Amino acid sequence: MKTNVALIGFMGSGKTAVGQALAEKLNKRFVELDSLIEQKAGKSIPQIFDQGGEIAFRQLEIELTKEVAESKNQVIACGGGIVLNKINIDRLKNEAVIVYLTASPAVIQKRTSVDKNERPLLKSSNKAVTIRELLRFRKPFYERVADIRIDTSKLDIKSVADEIIARLKDDESFHH
């Protein structure tokens, strides 16, 4: 039986906020992969990108996903690009139900524009175009691996968490 829930989706889809609320409701440990990557590297994600590029970041992501995937009873907020390496998803799927949080490009742009964290992949003169292009590229990856899919565009954090819990009840592979 699976005891983890892994939240995937594009930046700004609500993985961290929903993950914290969900972990509390399910009485599980909340884990944010990007924070673990920063701790392990001893620097921020923008610094990792600046110094080693996306390749250095993805390498750390693979290492930490492997570690996290082996533990139980967690809600894991994954970075937006975790799906780009199939090995990450294969490892997560052993113990986790994969929940794909979606949001419209307009909602993502709004949410990421009020974000205090710098988003290395959105460093461009036209964020709207960059968001749309990245979404178009990643969408098939997200859809292919998702066990549950929820559009967060019009929902608040609590509603998304409640919806996930309702859907997990129908998932026979998940241990409550």
**Global confidence as pTM:** 0.92
What is the structure's pLDDT at 87?
Answer: 96
Q: Are 56 and 33 in contact (CB under 8 A)?
A: no
- 117 is written with which tokens? 């964290």
Q: Are 30 and 23 in contact (CB under 8 A)?
A: yes
What single string gives the DSSP state of each residue in 56-112?
Answer: HHHHHHHHHHHHHHTS-SEEEE--TTGGGSHHHHHHHHHHEEEEEEE--HHHHHHHH
User: Tens of pLDDT along 35-65?
Assistant: 999 999 999 999 999 999 989 999 999 999 9
Total residues found in the chain within this entry: 176
User: Tens of pLDDT along 88-137?
Assistant: 999 999 999 999 999 988 888 888 887 656 666 667 677 788 888 888 99
Query: Domain residue spans in the chain?
Result: 4-169
What is the structure's pLDDT at 116?
Answer: 58
Question: In whole numbers, what is the pLDDT of the chain averaged over residues?
Answer: 91
What is the structure's pLDDT at 117?
Answer: 62
CA distance 161 to 163: 5
What is the structure's pLDDT at 113?
Answer: 80
Is residue 140 over pLDDT 90?
yes
Is residue 17 over pLDDT 90?
yes
Closest by CA position to 11, among listed 88, 91, 78: 78
Architecture of domain 4-169: 3-Layer(aba) Sandwich (3.40)
